[in-house]
Each structure stands twice: as C-alpha cells, then as structure tokens.
Amino acid sequence: MAPFMDDSPLPGVKSMQKKLIDDEFDTELLIKELTLEEKSSLLAGKDFWHTTAVPRLRIPSVRLSDGPNGLRGTKFYGSTPSACLPCGTAIGATFDKDLAQRIGHLLADEAKAKGAHVVLGPTINIQRGPLGGRGFESFSEDPLLSGTLAGFYCKGLQERDIIATPKHFVCNDQEHERMAVSSIVTKRALREIYLLPFQIAIKLSSPGAIMTAYNRLNGTHCAERADLLQDILRGEWGWKGLVMSDWFGTYSTSEAVQAGLDLEMPGPTRWRGKALTHAVQSNKVRMSELDERVRAVLDLIKAASASGVPEDAPEEELNRPEDQAFLREVAAKSIVLLKNNDDVLPLKNDKRIAVIGPNAKIATYCGGGSASLNAYRAVTPFEGITAQAKADVDFAQGAYGHQMLPQLGKVLRTVDNQPGFTVRTYNEPSTVKDRKALETKVLNDSNIFFVDYDVPGLQSVWYAESEGIFTPEESGDYDFGLAVCGTAELFIDDNLFISNVKNQRSGTSFLGTGTVEEKARIHLKAGQSYHITLQWGCNKTSTLKRAGTVDFGHGGLRFGGCKHIEPEAAIEAAVKLASTTSQTILFAGLSGEWESEGEDRPNMDLPPHTDDLISRVLDANPNTIVVVQSGTPVTMPWASKAKAIVQAWYGGNETGHAIADVVYGAVNPSGKLPLTFPKKLKDNPTYLNYRSEGGRVLYGEDVYVGYRYYEEMEVEPLFPFGHGLSYTTFELSDLELKPQSNNELVIKCSVHNTGSNDGAETVQIYVAPISPPIRRPVKELKGFTKVPLAAGKKAAAATSIDLVRATSYWEEKEGRWCSAAGEYKVMVGTSSEGKFLEAVVKVQKTTFWNGL
C-alpha cells in the first residue's frame, strides 16, 4: 500500500507495503484479550516518538511528532528537513480562518511525508504577559481568536486524516519552574480566558487528542486533575479522544490514571509498566479505570489508520513548489504594518537601498525549543531584498543581535569540501587510539541536541567528534563559543582553544539543562583555512547538575563564532550609510535564543546596542524603515521617531522573501496584532504576578488579560490589539443586526476600499455589556472576518455570532455560564481601538448553560 490515500496530493514518496491495522481491529475485543501487563504497556510510549505496540494482537505503534509550526519527524539530531511555518503569533496575526485550515492541510501532508499519524499542536495557551518563553508558539492573548484559529487548523489536519493535539491543557503560560509552579486562577478566569480556546477548538473540530500542561493548577498538576480531564473535558464538553502528557509531564501512577491521563510520553515509561500493573493488582487502580485508558489508546490507533501511513514509515522530504509558495503567502499575510507615516512604504525596487541591522543577514525563521526544526531552507531578509532589488544593495551590520554567537555550521566545509561539518559518534573518548565510529553524519546545524539519539551498539556513556574547515572572508579578530549539556573541548588547528569540562557554569542552553557559552577570541586571516575540531562527551561525563530540570536524553553540543565588532564603530558605519542612502531599511529583533522553551525573557528589551543603533540611524535618516522580528512584544523607545515600523514575527522558511514582498509592495500588508504591545514592561497586567514565587504564580489580573486590562485601566498601549495598517484605506458603513430564532445574531456591514491599491481588511466584532450584573471587561472580541477587496470596490461583510455565548460570563456561584438579560452594544471596527459602527441588541431573558 502507498503511504497515503489513493487521492493523496503527495507524489514521489516511496512505496510502503505495510498497513497500520487491518479492517478487523476491534477495540472492545482487544481489551478482553490483552493481559494486564500488555494493557499497562500500551499506556506509555515505546520511545520518544512512538506508542507501544503489542505484536501478539497485531496492535501497531503510532508515531507522534512536533508541531506546532512544522513536522520535525522522529529526530532532533540529524532530522529530515521540513516545512517551517511562521510562528503561532504570526498565524494569529492573519485573523484568517481559511488560511488556518489550509495550514492544517500542509501540516497533514508533511506529517504523512514524515510517517507521523499525530501532530503535537496547535499551541493555544494564552499570552497573559509579554515575557513567556513560548509565547511565540501561541496564537493570541484573546481566547476567541486563539480557539477559532485552532479549530480551523485542526480541521485542516483532520480533513486529511491526521490527528491534531491542541496543547497545553491548561494555564501553561510561563517557563519559570514550569513543571512545579502552581497557577493560582479563579474559576471565572479559568473558564473565560484559559479553557475557552480549548472549548472553542473542540466545538469546531473535535480533535483526536489533547496534551496536558506541565504545571499545577491551584495546587494539583493538570495531568492529575479529574475535574479537568474527566468532568469538564469528557463530561461537560462530551469530547471523546486521547489525553496524553507533555514530554516528562507525568508525575504519578495511580493518580494520573484515575484522573484520566491516557498516555504517558515519552517512553520508556517512568510511571506505568510494572508500577501500574502493581497498582491494579493491589486495588489502587480499578480494572475499569485501566480499561478506559486502554480504550482511548486503541481508539487513537484505529483513527490513525485512516491516514494510510503505515507503522514505522520512512521519513522523507516533501518540499513541493506549491508549498514554498504557500509558506511565502502565509508569512506575507502575517506581517503587520504598525506605522507608515508619509507613506514611506512601499519602497521602490529600482532605487538603491541600504540594508542595516543584526537580523538582516540571519534567517530568524522560528523560535526556540520543541517548536524549532530543520527547515528545507531559510531565507534571510537580505537575501529577500536582494532577490527583488533592481538597483544596488549596500549593507552595514550596525550591531549584533545574538545571545549566543551565531552557529558556525552553515559556514563550515568538511575536509573533503562538502558544505557543513562531520560528526562521528563513539563509545570511547578521544584518548583511545583507533576507536571505531558508530555512525558518521554531515550536518550544517551546529546546535546539536542528542535528546533522542540512538544507534546500534551505543553505550550509556559515549562520545562524539565534530570536524570542519572555517575559511574567513575578512581578516580580524573572531569570537568562538562553546555551550554543552555534557562536556566538550574546541580545538583550532589541533590547539586547544576552549574547554567546557571543569568548573562548568549553568546556563539556558538545551532547555535549561546545559551550560553558559564559554568564549575565546583569536585573530584570523582572510582566505586561510582553519581546522575546527570538537571533542564532546554525553551528559553523564559532566558533574554539572541543575535542580528542577528534566533529563532530556543524552545532552547536546553547540558551537558558534563570528567576526568581532566594536559596537560604536559598527553603529557609526551604519549611520554613515543611512545618511547617504534615501531608501534605508533596518532589520532588528529577537530570535529563537531570546524566545525559547525552557526560559522566560527577563525583560521586553531588544538585544544590547540595538535601540541605540535604531535611534541613531533614524536621526540620520528619518525615513528609515524599521522591521522588527519577534514572537511577542518588544519595547520601542524610538517608536515616535520612526515613520514606518513593520512587525515581521518569525516567518518560517520564506521569511526574507515574504518581508521583501511587503516592503516592495508586491503584497499589501493585512496582518493585525493578535496581542497588545505595551509601551513598557510595567504597563502589562502581569507585571506584579509573573514567575514562580514560593512555588506559585498568582493570575492576579483575573479576566483582565491583554486588551481587556489596558481598556479597563485606561493604560495607553504602544499598539493596541487588532491594530494593523494597509497600503490602501477602508471604510465601514451600514451596520445591520439581524437576530435569528436560534439565538444567532447575523451582523452585516459594508466595507469600502477607498484607496488605490487592492487589499484586505479584517472586520472585528466586539460586544460590550451596557449594565452588567457583575464587573466585566469594557468589550470583548466575539467575531471576525477577513474581506479582500480590489481598489475602489465595495462589498458586504457578514458574520454571525451566538448571542447567548457572546454575552455570557462564568457565574462562579452557579458553576455555569450566564447570559444575563439586558442591553449589549455591538461594536464593529478594524481594531480594538478607533472608530466603530455601533448598535444595541437586547437579550430578553437570563440563560444559564453548560457544555460546548
């Protein structure tokens, strides 16, 4: 059988003969035939990415893979290249349901190419503050926008028979002590803000799996809360699917099973297996409870069979031209034009341009942690601009934006002159003569995470050697750096240059399990080849231990380097170039080092020297376009100086091309901010309640998350939720409300493109209670629709909302949703601030309700 359905759009993938399950797979019969030991084994992973098979009963293994912005496959180390989508906040910025569904289609195709049945995404936690290390993975600060896009994303996956896994259920909204912290949340905030995205996504798409959060909720780990997993998820919402833990996010045997956690990941098991068998035999877990968990696993396996992906399928590259075009489309549609005074954008591609800044010549295409992957390609902004420019393109670095030195892998060549460097793995250290390599690979990614590495004959303590040739283009001083989870030494031309073996210092590398980057400087000559060698030992060779961190496999190795620059001289050179070039564009921002799983940001600032660079370049050339790449808000102390600011996020494979499409006007920007950008960190609602203190974090802002807080407190943000400009102009008019008999309210208005360019506008619908029985946010997003319009054209925009749900709040005393009788203002606009079309609708009677 082919790996995909007969009507699969995926040509050229090798034939695979084995079907996942046969047509006689009967869950209830299998439950009767399974032994206690086999049942226990099914409830934990076989390895990092697969469920456990039971060959005796022809129960196969199912493959899971990260998500959420691309399919990595089954390897961190030496992974098969993949399509990388823009980050979650970028997708959120599109406000585009159809696009989210098409994203699901692409991810499903990528999953099939990687032999995966289950995608570990989307991430739909709420960005309650701007510092969350994984904030870039989620869609929005608003639950309706998050849940709606997630629902259509899951629909797209499931329309092609791939199982989606919304995560992390629930309140996994920070990285600090993420496995131990208790999120202290009121029942109302839990329902109205944090559970609501999951509720909406399940109502729209009924995804086949849900992943639990790492953290505790009001004192108890989410993976052990029966009220979440049984009472709400399965009982109240009627959802039928599999609940899996986050990786190493299972904390007990009996409690987790009884709470409703079906699958412990990854394997081999820590909590199930013999421990679970013993719990059943000693009557700590009832057989009926065990069977419920087994039933969910078997049902998932049965559902996975519809994909046509066989067990243990090979992993292959897809990388179709139409996918490249789609990735470019998504990235361009996500870009938000924050400012464009005097219409300095778009630029002219037949006119000389100066490109400046730390993010210009690096491909900042995704955030860090489990969302990162090995992209098919990653286009830098400089490459994108150069590809479309028809005149000279000049460059000045201005400043560096890295946290660790840039990876060296892509500028190295092997000893036989291939791109990249060679990695060999051994069971013996480098002091052993004539040791034999277990495996040899050529890589270009010098951030090597051996978390799930396995090769025949590998011992528990093992070693690796990396080798490559570096030939600098310029003479000068060069900085090199080495960070490890394990131990390592870096040699240049066989001379020991950096040692990271003894007296190691804890750092943020490798999800917080590794060291700081140890650095050294050396003078190199242009055109001369230098032999770079690294000798590495796995994490068991290190004495560095960090309390509260997870043991992510064998450890890792990261080495980087670049030409040393003096900040003042580099800024001066950039200022000089900007002052002599009328078209100047400056690329700045963060990266997957600054925004990463495992570590929250300490502040909202751009990297050192960046603000100074931007401010001084703007002084020299006020028409400079500032393009910021980040997954969450950054401070912009120079914003009042800038005439044009573009928020470009982490744009995936086609980052540079998409940015160039927008700044040169090939694409009219239509993105809208899915989260509020505050002027400073102290303005955000979580300022006094972020990070773990005493093992807990208080969600003190309650339901006043994001724009709800700024409006209630009358704190002016830098840029409000829903904001985004265009190269054309739009007018809304003729608001009409049409109540229907089934609580549906149809909302219509006219949208007129009053400018001279084709474009798209997002019509945003907010509902504001006029005299609520309890204190409520000023207004809340309850619907949206995107309207493409040619220049000068006018069209009707129509959408509908469920009036009962749109007017409801969580009544804590009743333990139910309440739509209170009274008047509500319906506000239709193009941002959470600005002009609105307004009308009043009356809810005739108070309604209490539960469920989806």
Residues forming the active site: 246
> H or E element: which one contains 353?
strand 353-356
Contact indicator for 212, 249 with CB cutoff of 8 Å: yes
How many whole angstroms separate alpha carbon 164 and alpha carbon 150?
10
Q: What is the DSSP letter of 227?
A: I
SS3 readout for 181-211 = CEEECCHHHHHHHHCHHHHHHHHHHCCCEEE
Q: DSSP 3-state assignment of 604?
A: coil
How many whole angstroms separate alpha carbon 647 and alpha carbon 628?
5
Q: What are the beta bridge partners of residue 536?
A: 464, 488
Sequence length of the chain is 852
Query: What number of CA atoms fall less than 13 Å from residue 441's CA on the CB side?
Result: 18
How many whole angstroms separate alpha carbon 697 and alpha carbon 688?
10
Q: DSSP 3-state assignment of 371?
A: coil
Of the candidates 834, 760, 769, the residue with the CA atom closest to the CA atom of residue 797: 760
How many whole angstroms separate alpha carbon 62 and alpha carbon 173?
29
SS3 readout for 95-117 = CCHHHHHHHHHHHHHHHHHCCCC
Q: Cis peptide before 788, with omega less than 30 degrees from 0?
A: no
Q: DSSP 3-state assignment of 85?
A: coil
How many whole angstroms separate alpha carbon 254 and alpha carbon 282?
11
How many whole angstroms separate alpha carbon 90 and alpha carbon 367?
12
Q: DSSP 3-state assignment of 840?
A: strand
Of the candidates 725, 762, 835, the residue with the CA atom closest to the CA atom of residue 339: 725
Number of DSSP helices (H) and strands (E) in the chain, helices first = 19, 36
How many whole angstroms separate alpha carbon 570 and alpha carbon 749?
52
Which structure tokens are listed for 117? 């049945």
How many whole angstroms separate alpha carbon 167 and alpha carbon 177?
18
Of the candidates 448, 537, 422, 439, the residue with the CA atom closest to the CA atom of residue 489: 537
Residue carrying structure tokens 């600090």: 176
Widest Cα–Cα separation across the chain: 86
Contact indicator for 584, 356 with CB cutoff of 8 Å: yes
